[in-house]
Structure 1
């Protein structure tokens, strides 16, 4: 079991709340965080989209405090690690959405873990995307109950239980309930909501933390037909003719994708309505704090409120998302324009729930509670760092820093001069259309200096230098199935067959039975190789057209290593789709 040190005394937090005048509030409210996947800022009625129907979320927004300049990372796993820990994702070891870079270090302290200090019951339902094996699963990171799919998305290569279902992966899926495979009936978003509601019902008497992380409207764009029919006849590019904001041209495919996305979002809206109704039925709505947000911008081209860019971009369209927070003691329909971010969620919840923060690590976020209570504070001097490139961050490329109204964007070389950057004044140019770097080089150079300082600090993070390893042979998980999402090796490793791949693992001493699964059957008379720290084991495959090759009674000494499997046949080296390792002694 991992050991985590948290030193701040609860009594000091009680004193803080008393001084600030919040002692009369419920000290341990229930917490629900709802986050959707690849739903952009513009995929709501309340943010100006005339097509998508989201009456429940729109109403929730009017009953909440809305942070109108709220930011996340450009892609999934980095956002989720920052949300869970209050830290920039690179500090946590998360640097990618796959390529072995979406595993959060087990020494990170999550929202679930800080709330366990106050005896919260904790549950996650939907998308985790921070590690599928011990010691990085939800159950290893503070969650009492977990119902998740694997990797970054259902139907993706890392989710071995839904990948081969193809265009039906969102329906009747096999999911992972408390680390065990279970078959479910229905549509994924409905299932995750239903199970979250059951969790709430079971824990209504005690404070609970429910993390409802929809995998929709992420690709593949699959939705029940009754929802698709609501949008079948619309033109998602219409209705913006008199809008002076920028709007990207949509192809016919973009329009069809938008119809499916809007259908998926309306399904989510209905499900959120069911959850909110359950809170009313249980008479705990006033004791429950609710957060709604999304994880990044849209993957496809569609309405995004006029902002530039989409998922993966450090422009506004990739990183600015809706964020609504509702609690009975908070002001309703209050807009806050101060810049805030995913890293602020953990410290905010810690203060509201009267639990101490970890003190032996850097917490990059700040509690938003003073802002919500009108207490102000020093917010003008804060800056936010953004990046996204595949595998590892690349200095000055798709990298940005925002401070005050100014935002410096790099889409250039590591040694580029300041004239090759973009500088925007978002107060005057919220859609990032006018590059003012040449007229404001002093401002730009100051931002560039801070950008480089932040980059250099983050890439030196211990959890990034020493990437998290999957532990094999532990009693906490046996067998271990290594999937493609967590495989490293060649850049862009996905569902290819002929490529170099590996997993970073820690193997406990013992005997193992090993299965190698391939995407397609392999020919006979090749050799299955397994390399670990220079130790090579291989076996001749005599079966024609098999997609499973086994090694029995393989001995390993205790080691940290790169586990490198491949099937050699002729001039080809074929990388397995997944590898199962079962300790047998």
Structure 2
């Protein structure tokens, strides 16, 4: 009997629980067009983001987290765990055309296929309550979040919402309204596992903010080397306040220790409005949203999970938004989709240890459209990054370890490496059936920059590479 008692006592002290709770709550907060250098925790001293900065202090900040170069592609790979090139959603829906450009780019589908099993569908099957609030941009009627596994869903775009959306008497700021919806969902489902995605319109143009915040930043000294735009800063602070309210709701509900909060942006920052006015900067990264340079695809990213994700940690491993599906599925003890590929990898090991090694060393991007650059593909293998431009077949090769600003093209100095990576990039495009641009019979150099009919995603006229 003494021996049995001793064994029981030893088991209590020696048997450790799993590193992660069974079926934690999962919250994904997605910003729109928020750039790598826009947050205080990424070095910005003009924009004030104390709540997001607190998430970084209490969790893990990622320095090499990637997304697609524009809106819909990222939202597609987030929901599906697959590269957006598999669906042809390589531009924002419905895209825009340049009818006289050198190349004719592929037509963008108007929705993500319903056959795709999203992470919401996977987790719902595992017993999760699922809620989606905000921007979707993956299809209209019949292709909404409610059609893709989100049991509670409300779509809204822009930085203000009319009474018909909010049910209130006055126009409301979207960041505040989305916080209300998220808090309602959290309080309604705090007693069982839930999955919540809050997809903001901030900080997408057209810029606007409250009169109080605009005045505050107009009276603030600018940050050297940063545009320090008052409307952009005010809208960024509104986003931050919304994040703070969601975090506060989690803590008031007493579920902080069983809740992972993941904060991401959908692409790099949009440096220029359509008018050409500069509103932000992604420096030290090169260029902006709509390009395959680092400023277009590297995003701010933060994860907090008290007691699970190391406090004040930093992860320098290259990761990407399509990793969200396998990560959430693993953490939620759900089953992976059976009849579709998965191009992402689970980040569960990284959340435990930022130095953990993943079974992947290569990432790919495909942007066969004119946006803020010319049609191109790119890949990153280790610290090396190759970009192929389709108009002239030019290759650019960068060592991101020594040159994160992509200032020195090493394609001529490293011809064998460039050739090997180019071959791999071509093979990947074939594997995912990536659509390619073709020569345009209506090419007119004098009109090449003219924008034809189609969607407007924001930003100035396309630039040469």
Residue aligned with 1:459, SS: coil
Q: Residue 71 of structure 2 aligns with which residue? A: 76
Distance 1:79 1:182, change over 3 A: farther
1:140 aligns with 2:147: yes
**Partners of 1:218 and 1:66 in 2: how far apart?**
23
Cα deviation for residue 388 of structure 1 reads: 2.3
What residue number does 2:400 align with?
A: 426
SS of residue paired to 2:90: coil
* Aligned 8 A contact 1:408 1:448 in 2: yes
Give how far 1:234 is off.
4.0
- Equivalent residue for 1:118? 126
**1:129 alignment counterpart:** 137
Question: For 1:375 and 1:37, how far apart are their aligned partners in 2?
Answer: 26
Match of 1:437? 411
Specify whether residues 343 and 435 from structure 1 end up closer, same or farther in structure 2 by C-alpha distance, changes over 3 A only: same
| Separation in structure 2 between the aligned mates of residue 427 and residue 406 of structure 1, nearest angstrom | 8
- The SS at the match of 2:41 is coil
Shift of 1:492: 4.0
Alpha-carbon distance in structure 2 between the residues aligned to 1:380 and 1:199: 36
Deviation at 1:119, TM superposition (A): 1.3
Instruction: Name the structure 2 match of 1:199.
Output: 185
Unpaired segments ≥5 residues, structure 1: 1-20, 155-168, 241-246, 465-489, 496-585
CA-CA distance at 1:26 after TM superposition: 2.0
Q: Secondary structure at the match of 2:432?
A: helix
Q: Cα–Cα, structure 1 residues 183 and 299, in superposed 2: closer, same or farther, change >3 Å?
A: farther
Higher relative contact order at CA 8 Å, sep ≥6: structure 1 or structure 2? 2
Separation (CA, whole Å) in 2 of partners of 1:126 and 1:400: 30
Shift of 1:23: 3.5
Q: 1:304 to 1:199 in 2, by over 3 A?
A: same
- Are residues 1:323 and 2:297 paired? no
Query: Which residue of the other structure, out of 243, 259, 266, is the alignment partner of 1:272?
Result: 243
Q: Does 2:170 correspond to 1:170?
A: no
1:96/1:102 contact within 8 Å kept: no
1-structure distance, mates of 2:176, 2:345: 34
Structure 2 stretches lacking a partner, 5+ long: 1-15, 95-107, 272-277, 437-450, 457-465
Secondary structure at the residue paired with 2:45? coil
Contact preservation (8 Å) 1:33, 1:212: yes
User: How many Å apart are 1:277 and its aligned residue?
Assistant: 1.1
Alpha-carbon distance in structure 1 between the residues aligned to 2:354 and 2:176: 40
Tell me the distance in 2 between the aligned counterparts of 1:22 and 1:110: 29
Deviation at 1:377, TM superposition (A): 6.7
Checking the alignment, whether the CA contact within 8 Å between 2:327 and 2:348 is kept in structure 1 is: yes
| 1:103 maps to 2:111 | yes
Equivalent residue of 1:372, what SS?
A: helix
1:182 Cα offset (Å): 9.3
Alignment check: 8 A CA contact 1:127 1:215 kept: yes
Structure whose CA Rg is larger: 1
1:239 maps to which of 204, 217, 224 = 224
Cα separation, 1, equivalents of 2:36 and 2:421: 26
- Rounded to whole Å, the distance in 1 between the matches of 2:172 and 2:353 is 45
Task: Indicate whether 1:188 and 2:174 are aligned.
Answer: yes
* Aligned with residue 225 of structure 1, among 201, 208, 211: 211
- Cα deviation for residue 170 of structure 1 reads 1.6
Q: Is residue 455 of structure 1 aligned with residue 424 of structure 2?
A: no
Of 23, 29, 32, which residue of structure 1 is paired with 2:24? 29
TM-superposed CA distance for 1:411, in Å, is 2.8
Q: Which has the higher helix share?
A: 2
The aligned residue for residue 352 of structure 1 is 331
* Counterpart in the other structure of 2:81: 86
Q: Secondary structure at the match of 2:47?
A: coil
Q: Do structure 1's residue 259 and structure 2's residue 223 form an aligned pair?
A: no
Matched length: 406
Contact 2:313 2:354 in 1 (8 A): no
Distance in structure 2 (CA, Å) of the matches to 1:88 and 1:325: 22
Change (3 A) 1:288 1:108: same
2:111, 2:170 → 1: CA distance? 26
List, as ranges, runs of 4+ consecutive aligned residues in structure 1 with deviation greater than 4 Å. Answer: 181-185, 375-378
Q: Is residue 407 from structure 1 mapped to residue 400 from structure 2 by the alignment?
A: no
